Structure 1
């Protein structure tokens, strides 16, 4: 993963790094209760007019992020990439894609965000590189058994002449998980493992050079002012390949309880993160944070949130929930369990890999089909199946208040503050996601949540880029204009103003006490009490329910009368939430 542009500066683990005096407790633990906003750089804002979002575009929109009231920004990959998988095929882990800017642009962006009181979290992709990475090019030019190939998972094929893959394993994106290479002498040769796309060869984390180089990558970005890291595929680094080549492996079976899957969530991966914590993350003051993207059994999630390892892990349980009080309460209970391990709970409803929850909550529930799967099917039919988008938005607004009322950290995805729906009708010939190609059209993929954001109600790109510049690769739909940032700014009751108000009120209400008490007073209602006596009530019952007497702090329903709540006449409509004190 060595940079071909700027060498990393090695920082001795024992040396003071970022501050001459110890940081205050709130600076060390900022991530525990933070609201973190995910930026997908290539579709956030385009400063140079080439149709691709860039770092200077992010810097130009710091005012929006500050007015929203977020505590941190998490940047999806901005590294050099052929975009075979949306930037997660990384050519160089310690450089900026020239189409997105320079390291100087990155430094300026960090300064601007820090000046606004916003911390910076960057994606790191340790499971694999791209097939254009210098290490992989060296591996292709080297013979079997060479030092260069030892950094990756190369194996001989089966059958006569090694013409069959080393195992029957399938990749996440469809097709074989193995790709054969042509040897330097031009003959068919070994096969390499790619759990994702063929352009993403897996690294071999038993190799000491691989481990040491990632430590250098973490130091490189921490030295540039990065406050934390989001660890991609955190459960996939350590693998037992040779012991299972003759075994059929279900690639999506990531939820085993025993840690015995050959490719996912092996116990040994925690040794990797313990080293990260010891040698890098805690070598800075304040310590650098880390959050694991780990799709594992709920009972094993806390291992990734161990304070001696990464310290925090995403809880994706709400992704699978339909608009159902029982399902959501079960998911919340699972998330709260992380706090027992000394970490914090985490909550998120959407990200760059999922159908936007604004749409998901409007797709009719189907027997035996999960919420996310039903929404993916709706996208694959180009959005022609029945769906109630108005209902989805109403529920999404209610879900926001529920999410923000819970103890722990909240991760928002760009555009959800505008109430954006999934863009389902992207022409198939414009789809970029490898899932669409490798699934043979069985899934349309994730492009619909990655369309360029609308900033103004008009213009050829709705303010995403300068007028007269290139159009984004995936065209924005006409309905983006009326829900753009400028169209909602200052408009009472708009989704943007609801987000701003909710984050502002949450900041006032949040304390270091993460206590939560459930009140079971009506079926289909999620009613919880937080320290200080304020309450969050979310009505998923389908019928109006009375609210407790008190001060109405905030409601997703703009028609709810504060005076009526104060006088004991408040009624919460279906698919709405309210905060009452």
Structure 2
């Protein structure tokens, strides 16, 4: 499998569509807003906070899973794709949320989890009850084991969450689960699986959703025969090398089928791939004109904070998506990684997995995070904002073991289980936990730090220089400035050492300058100052950018 084998020629981008330069806000439902005081966020809670998102200036919201689930992996183990889990509400609540969002000019994207189901899914329960040879076992990956009595797993694949990717059932067969044992992988070679997900897509499209974020989009198709990886083969969820269970070419046929369904519906319904692949060229295959619309740019998320690496990944990202006429996407945080307020100040700042972060200088971390966010929001394409980053929330690094719920936390290998730190419920108001997360007297499913009172929405709203007001201002400029409507109009301009600078052309040109060094740098006065991520020095005619500061100019 090589990039050259199936890489398409460069194509001209189609006319601008809403999703090509949208800012999409990720909501982790259990941690956004609690309407009933049980300590867990829910759909009515989200609906009640939609005006906040409109006023923030985002274009769409993406909801992490809220389907019926035993919650073995925070809802990414789905038992029923057409119902809402009672902890989050009902299908009627989902419909009300979608209607309410549309009334405010917001679009709604929902998570879809097609690689695996919950072990409590009706199909899997029937597969277990039916025994070897059951038709329902063909919808998953059941195999006999190796060894004299089948006591060894069928192959050497490891689970992303640690241990083998196989679990043995009472009758002696084994089933495949690339994640937790509670998450058996579907067999996407089976027509019933493909048909089922087409009906799931239509169910939510009929309810009014504007698109889907496709979980583990690169994992649906496995190599024929499920061959061993081998002791020297390099593979991982995060796309560090070729593997027999990720990024197989067969997934693209599935997404071409899905695209035809999406195109049947009015309003430009979209799909976004969570696709970890060995290269940006491979990622671009998921967003060819007849497949999905966007793919997350994880290469950018993991890039270190220095001019050379930032310039290189921005250039490579734009070039890769240009070959297929797709917009580039940008993001700095999500529900699976250390918040960038903390991550970017660490020695291992290029890491994207759920590493346990070290103690960092919170003031310096926030300064760099603000600069990084202003840089990201100035880039052409679509940007993803994770809930709470607009408040400057840091990673919570001192959660006690007894409250952690990441399924990988207690495993010896695989993902190290520190994703809970970015999932702590966000603060809305007040001076003590749960900071308006839910009604008075309610708590929060993960404890919030005592230091978050000053980071709440109420504490920052209308306060000049706050991180919330920086995001509001940046998103307003992004909508209003004519040069920022383009999706591939970036050109680099010369800049002093340690400074990254680019312009975007339009009826008025736009310039972004970022000081990534450790010393102040004079940058002159490129034009009218629109926004700065922090205080500036110098004079009006010779602005001095302090370290870790971004400025926007109209020229």
Q: Normalised by the size of structure 2, how large is the TM-score?
A: 0.93
Q: CA deviation at 1:245?
A: 3.9
Residues 227, 244 of structure 2: 8 Å contact kept: yes
Selected match of 1:428 from 401, 422, 441: 401
SS at match of 1:244: coil
Task: Name the CA distance, whole Å, in 2 between partners of 1:359 and 1:98.
Answer: 34
Residues 26, 62 of structure 2: 8 Å contact kept: yes
Residues 30, 40 of structure 2: 8 Å contact kept: yes
CA displacement 1:131-184 (0-9 Å, x = unmatched): 01111101100121221100000000111221111112110010010001113x
Selected match of 1:113 from 72, 76, 101: 101
1:190 aligns with: 173
CA displacement 1:220-262 (0-9 Å, x = unmatched): 10111100111000000000252514745544175367xx621
Residues 362, 390 of structure 1: 8 Å contact kept: no
Q: Given the alignment of the two structures, is residue 349 of structure 1 paired with residue 332 of structure 2, yes or no? A: yes
Selected match of 1:335 from 298, 317, 326: 317
Task: Name the CA distance, whole Å, in 1 between partners of 2:415 and 2:272.
Answer: 32
Task: Name the CA distance, whole Å, in 2 between partners of 1:251 and 1:340.
Answer: 26
Q: Given the alignment of the two structures, is residue 412 of structure 1 paired with residue 385 of structure 2, yes or no? A: yes
Pick closer, same or farther for the CA change 1:513–1:358 going to 2, 3 Å: closer
Residues 534, 579 of structure 1: 8 Å contact kept: yes
- Number of residues of Structure 1 aligned to a counterpart in Structure 2: 533
CA displacement 1:461-509 (0-9 Å, x = unmatched): 110010012x222111101111000010110000000000000011011
SS at match of 1:371: coil
Q: CA deviation at 1:457?
A: 2.7
SS at match of 2:108: strand
Q: CA deviation at 1:435?
A: 1.5
Task: Name the CA distance, whole Å, in 2 between partners of 1:253 and 1:292.
Answer: 14
1:558 aligns with: 535
Between 198-207 and 517-526, the greater mean CA deviation after superposition: 517-526
- 1:293-308 matches, within 5 Å, as 293-296=274-277, 297-308=279-290
Residues 336, 353 of structure 2: 8 Å contact kept: no
1:17 aligns with: none
Residues 546, 569 of structure 1: 8 Å contact kept: yes
Task: Name the CA distance, whole Å, in 2 between partners of 1:194 and 1:250.
Answer: 19
2:149 aligns with: 161
Q: Given the alignment of the two structures, is residue 252 of structure 1 paired with residue 224 of structure 2, yes or no? A: no
Selected match of 1:141 from 129, 144, 147: 129
Q: Which runs of 4+ in 1 moved over 6 A?
A: none
- 1:176-325 matches, within 5 Å, as 176-183=164-171, 189-240=172-223, 242-245=225-228, 247-248=230-231, 250-252=234-236, 255=239, 261-278=243-260, 280-296=261-277, 297-325=279-307
1:473 aligns with: 445
Pick closer, same or farther for the CA change 1:126–1:265 going to 2, 3 Å: same
Residues 75, 121 of structure 1: 8 Å contact kept: yes
Pick closer, same or farther for the CA change 1:246–1:528 going to 2, 3 Å: closer
Q: Given the alignment of the two structures, is residue 359 of structure 1 paired with residue 342 of structure 2, yes or no? A: yes
CA displacement 1:406-434 (0-9 Å, x = unmatched): 10000000000000000010001111101
Task: Name the CA distance, whole Å, in 2 between partners of 1:199 and 1:30.
Answer: 37
Task: Name the CA distance, whole Å, in 1 between partners of 2:548 and 2:122.
Answer: 52
Task: Name the CA distance, whole Å, in 1 between partners of 2:465 and 2:304.
Answer: 25
Task: Name the CA distance, whole Å, in 1 between partners of 2:308 and 2:436.
Answer: 41
Task: Name the CA distance, whole Å, in 1 between partners of 2:336 and 2:345.
Answer: 18
Selected match of 1:400 from 373, 398, 401: 373
Pick closer, same or farther for the CA change 1:520–1:559 going to 2, 3 Å: closer
Residues 488, 497 of structure 1: 8 Å contact kept: yes
1:536 aligns with: 512
Task: Name the CA distance, whole Å, in 1 between partners of 2:235 and 2:281.
Answer: 20
Residues 118, 182 of structure 2: 8 Å contact kept: yes
Task: Name the CA distance, whole Å, in 2 between partners of 1:109 and 1:534.
Answer: 36
CA displacement 1:528-555 (0-9 Å, x = unmatched): 0011211000100212122342211000
Consecutive unaligned residues in structure 2, runs of 5 or more: 1-13
SS at match of 2:123: helix
SS at match of 2:304: coil
Pick closer, same or farther for the CA change 1:336–1:125 going to 2, 3 Å: same
Between 458-467 and 502-511, the greater mean CA deviation after superposition: 458-467
Consecutive unaligned residues in structure 1, runs of 5 or more: 1-24, 184-188, 379-384
Q: CA deviation at 1:373?
A: 6.4
CA-atom RMSD, angstroms?
1.9
Q: Normalised by the size of structure 1, how large is the TM-score?
A: 0.88
Pick closer, same or farther for the CA change 1:141–1:422 going to 2, 3 Å: same
Q: CA deviation at 1:520?
A: 2.3
Task: Name the CA distance, whole Å, in 2 between partners of 1:560 and 1:55.
Answer: 45
Pick closer, same or farther for the CA change 1:59–1:241 going to 2, 3 Å: same
Task: Name the CA distance, whole Å, in 2 between partners of 1:55 and 1:256.
Answer: 36
Pick closer, same or farther for the CA change 1:536–1:94 going to 2, 3 Å: same
